[in-house]
Chains A and B, each alone.
Chain A
Amino acid sequence: MSARLLAPVAGLGRAVLDAMAATGRVTIFAGSAVGHLFRPPIYFKEILYAALSIGYFSLPVVALTALFTGAALALQIYAGGARFSAEAVVPQIVAVGMVRELGPVLGGLMIAARVTSSIAAEIATMKVTEQIDALVTLSTHPMKYLSAPRILAATLVVPVLVGVGDVIGVFGGYLVGTLKLGFNAATYLHNTVDFLEFSDIASSLTKGAVFGFIAVTVACYYGMNSGRGALGVGNATKGSVQTAAVLILAANFVLTGLFFAA
């Protein structure tokens, strides 16, 4: 009887322990991948290819996301601000909202959707088709060849992507502000530039680096630890995107606290 009563508590405890164990495994995996970055051989071609794939080819989706978000944000702030005669703050709020929060978070989530899923599926497929084993038999460490270059590339290029997204997001607000809401173009830009501080931009780029690291480390971890067959690949892909998205949002909260908590 007591066992039945305690079952929900036991289930909760098991879930917490599982989550902690998984966190530990991902942390060890990340540490190992980072360690491989500093020990030769370094696969520069793989790093370059990963940088192109993660950064350059993600640009359209990140840019469109930022553009529409910045535009919608301007409309919302204008409508909301009108309730207490604060319509004039649209440029400033769009700028700070995009650069501090929406640019990095939405950029990170788009990377999780596009890059995490793709890398997890690719590595998981390589695992189930014995390509990872083949790498080992060809004297190539899979962590060094597959994971480390992708993780390094993501950590370097996602901040750039976020920076571009920030600018495009602000531009989306500018378009709506000047074309629809009647703001003067020069004043809009002046207010935007004047209001932003160095710490806003630094926080945005730092978040981009952390989110890039998380998105691709999680992808590589799930891929390398995939189960068998098509179901294994599917589960690895799904799990990687879910985990990366949640970790990016949690990391965003922590980083926002570190940068801006008074």
Chain B
Amino acid sequence: MIELRDIRKAFGPKQVLDGVDLKVETGESLVIIGGSGTGKSITIKCILGLVQPDSGTILLDGQDITKADRDAFLARFGMLFQGGALFDSMPVWQNIAFRLLRGPGRLPRAEARALAIEKLARVGLGPETADLYPAELSGGMQKRAGLARAIAADPEIIFFDEPTAGLDPIMAGVINRLIRDIVDEMGVTAITITHDMTTVRDVAHRVAMLHGGKIRWCGPVDAVETADDPYLDQFIHGRAEGPIATLR
């Protein structure tokens, strides 16, 4: 279980997170929604230690993450970045097998390559993709390769940062289905950040809305449409009128 208690983070005068409290149960798929610049990405970067919160506590299975062994902690995670964040300087298979080729539990090169090709197949990419460089892939293929890298070491927890951003609706649907299947098959705990309500409906067990630096609303995905919250209502229906200012 991941638990965030009163997480605060400011960048200069801008208070991005202003007391975020959130729990994600093991095996649960939580989707965080919210407008641009509301701190969704910062929230998961705080969990991963990529950004240090100003105050608050983050617990993983009841243990404060700042006291955990960093490598062992990170080995439990996989992350799909918004732009893929594939390493330009190496072919796709080495991107996917990056963790498997390094560190104490590293695999022989041939074995790591075979495993990378297996993960590529899992996300619908053929073995011919393995030796291409990231710059030679389309946006959708980069997302899939990023997803293959995120699941390569069979993590217990996966974060998806805007998994469908910049994709056409069909490819977005393919990625959403892949995420849902992977989460179900692997039984992982997942946190997804998105603006895309199709992603919310496809992958979420539970939804949390971040607004004003706090979790504004949190509940099961089935309750999103019927929730009595004007902020959530405005966001999910994409209305310009409502309590959320459109000029931020």
Size class of B's contact patch?
20 to 34
**Which of chain B's residues have a CB closer than 8 A to the CB of A41?**
102-103
Asked whether any CB of chain A lies closer than 8 Å to the CB of B217, the reply is no
**Which of chain A's residues have a CB closer than 8 A to the CB of B79?**
134, 137
Question: Is the CB–CB distance between A133 and B85 below 8 Å?
Answer: yes
Asked whether any CB of chain B lies closer than 8 Å to the CB of A225, the reply is no
Q: What 0/1 pattern do residues 203 to 215 of B give for CB contact below 8 A with A? A: 0000000000000
**Which of chain A's residues have a CB closer than 8 A to the CB of B78?**
137
Question: Is the CB–CB distance between A138 and B83 below 8 Å?
Answer: no
**Which of chain A's residues have a CB closer than 8 A to the CB of B81?**
130, 133-134
Question: Is the CB–CB distance between B102 and A140 below 8 Å?
Answer: yes
Asked whether any CB of chain B lies closer than 8 Å to the CB of A131, the reply is yes
CA distance A192 to B5 in the complex (A): 74
**Which of chain B's residues have a CB closer than 8 A to the CB of A133?**
45, 48, 50, 81, 85
Question: Is the CB–CB distance between B85 and A130 below 8 Å?
Answer: yes
**Residue from A131, A135, A137 in contact with B88 in the complex, judged by beta carbons closer than 8 Å:** A131
- Given A129-B85, A133-B85, A134-B81, does the pair A139, B99 have CB atoms closer than 8 Å? yes
Asked whether any CB of chain B lies closer than 8 Å to the CB of A86, the reply is no
**Which of chain A's residues have a CB closer than 8 A to the CB of B83?**
129-130
Asked whether any CB of chain B lies closer than 8 Å to the CB of A9, the reply is no
Give the one of B49, B79, B85 with max A CB within 10 A.
Answer: B85
Give the one of A122, A135, A136 with max B CB within 10 A.
Answer: A136
Question: Is the CB–CB distance between B49 and A136 below 8 Å?
Answer: yes
- Given A139-B71, A139-B74, A139-B99, does the pair A134, B82 have CB atoms closer than 8 Å? no
Q: Which residues of A, 138-180, contact B by the 8 Å Cβ criterion?
A: 138-140
Question: Is the CB–CB distance between A131 and B82 below 8 Å?
Answer: no
Question: Is the CB–CB distance between A131 and B87 below 8 Å?
Answer: yes
Asked whether any CB of chain A lies closer than 8 Å to the CB of B223, the reply is no
CA distance A139 to B49 in the complex (A): 11
Question: Is the CB–CB distance between B77 and A137 below 8 Å?
Answer: yes
Question: Is the CB–CB distance between B103 and A134 below 8 Å?
Answer: no
- Given A131-B88, A133-B45, A134-B87, does the pair A139, B82 have CB atoms closer than 8 Å? no
**Which of chain A's residues have a CB closer than 8 A to the CB of B87?**
126, 131, 134-135
Question: Is the CB–CB distance between B102 and A131 below 8 Å?
Answer: no
User: Main SS of the interface on chain A?
Assistant: helix
CA distance A131 to B98 in the complex (A): 12
Question: Is the CB–CB distance between A131 and B85 below 8 Å?
Answer: yes
Interchain nearest-CB distance for A85 vs B (Å): 58
**Which of chain A's residues have a CB closer than 8 A to the CB of B10?**
none
B73 nearest CB neighbor, chain A only: A139
CA distance A136 to B70 in the complex (A): 10
Asked whether any CB of chain A lies closer than 8 Å to the CB of B75, the reply is yes
A131 nearest CB neighbor, chain B only: B85
CA distance A175 to B78 in the complex (A): 61
CA distance A135 to B88 in the complex (A): 12
Q: Which residues of B, 1-57, contact A by the 8 Å Cβ criterion?
A: 45, 48-50
CA distance A125 to B103 in the complex (A): 25
CA distance A16 to B50 in the complex (A): 32
Interchain nearest-CB distance for A54 vs B (Å): 15
B98 nearest CB neighbor, chain A only: A138
**Which of chain B's residues have a CB closer than 8 A to the CB of A139?**
70-71, 74-75, 99, 102-103
Interchain nearest-CB distance for B84 vs A (Å): 8
Question: Is the CB–CB distance between A136 and B50 below 8 Å?
Answer: yes
CA distance A140 to B85 in the complex (A): 14
CA distance A135 to B102 in the complex (A): 12
**Which of chain B's residues have a CB closer than 8 A to the CB of A134?**
79, 81, 85-87
Give the one of A41, A129, A130, A139 with max B CB within 10 A.
Answer: A139
B106 nearest CB neighbor, chain A only: A41
**Which of chain A's residues have a CB closer than 8 A to the CB of B48?**
133, 136-137
**Which of chain A's residues have a CB closer than 8 A to the CB of B45?**
133
**Which of chain A's residues have a CB closer than 8 A to the CB of B85?**
129-131, 133-134
A-B CB contact pairs (8 Å), 12 listed: A41-B103, A126-B87, A130-B82, A130-B85, A133-B81, A134-B79, A134-B86, A135-B87, A136-B50, A137-B74, A139-B74, A140-B102
Q: Which residues of B contact A (CB under 8 A)?
A: 45, 48-50, 70-71, 74-75, 77-79, 81-83, 85-89, 98-99, 102-103, 149
Q: Which residues of A contact B (CB under 8 A)?
A: 41, 122, 125-126, 129-131, 133-140
Query: Which 7 pairs show the lowest CB-CB distances between chains A and B?
Result: A134-B85, A130-B85, A137-B79, A139-B74, A130-B81, A138-B99, A139-B71
Task: With A125-B88, A136-B48, A136-B74 given, name 17 new contacts (CB 8 A).
Answer: A41-B102, A126-B87, A126-B88, A129-B85, A130-B81, A131-B86, A133-B45, A134-B86, A136-B50, A137-B48, A137-B77, A137-B79, A138-B149, A139-B70, A139-B102, A140-B98, A140-B102
